[in-house]
């Protein structure tokens, strides 16, 4: 018959071929959740618990995961598939740097809109902003250090 097994196998095969990314579990609900990618900047990706390889009971908000990015049909929202829980410390989120860097805000932090608050409940975090680090001027002597400088 039409539909049946062949389509399911094709879908599983496409999920196996999905490009892999790493990220963190952002939110967990009853049978689904959302993952934030650290590799690509985009909306959090929906996932269903059936896509978790391993024990769903081990999954927590903040769990580090590797997953495939899958689009069921062209134009559909992307979703996370074939999710593997990674050991803590595997996913590199941000590099810590020495103090004293200068930067400029290129995208301001944005408060969640009323629509977002309805959808995700109170206490929703602000959306991430972006800062571009300015390169320190190379080998520029500091002049005019004050009165009586040698």
pLDDT in tens, 55-82: 999 999 999 999 999 998 899 999 999 9
Nearest CA among 33, 37, 22 for reference residue 58: 33
Pick out the chain residues at pLDDT < 50: 1, 121-124, 138-142, 144-145, 149
Question: What pLDDT does residue 113 have?
Answer: 59
Judge contact between 23 and 38, C-beta under 8 A. Answer: yes
Measured between alpha carbons, how far is 37 from 93 in angstroms, rounded to an integer?
A: 9
Nearest CA among 99, 51, 91 for reference residue 72: 51
Question: What pLDDT does residue 141 have?
Answer: 46
Question: How many angstroms from the chain centroid is the CA of residue 47?
Answer: 13
What end-to-end distance do the CA atoms of the chain give, in Å? 91
Q: For residue 4, give the H/E element and its range.
A: helix 4-17
Question: What pLDDT does residue 82 have?
Answer: 97
Q: Report pTM.
A: 0.60
Question: What pLDDT does residue 39 have?
Answer: 87
Q: What is the pLDDT of residues 92-105, one digit of tens each?
A: 876 656 667 778 88
Question: What pLDDT does residue 92 have?
Answer: 80
């Amino acid at each position: 018959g039409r539909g049946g097994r062949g389509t399911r196998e094709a879908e599983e095969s496409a999920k196996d071929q999905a490009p892999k990314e790493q990220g963190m579990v952002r939110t967990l609900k009853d049978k689904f959740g959302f993952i934030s990618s650290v590799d690509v900047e985009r909306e959090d990706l929906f996932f269903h618990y059936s896509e978790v390889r391993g024990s769903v009971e081990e999954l927590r908000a903040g769990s580090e995961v590797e997953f495939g990015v899958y689009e069921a049909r062209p134009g559909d929202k992307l979703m996370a598939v074939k999710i593997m829980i990674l050991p803590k410390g595997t996913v590199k989120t941000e590099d810590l740097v020495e103090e004293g860097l200068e930067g400029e805000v290129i995208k301001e932090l944005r408060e969640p809109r009323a629509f977002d608050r309805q959808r995700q409940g109170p206490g929703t975090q602000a959306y991430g902003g972006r800062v571009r680090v300015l390169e320190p001027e190379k080998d520029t002597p500091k002049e005019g250090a004050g009165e009586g400088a040698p």
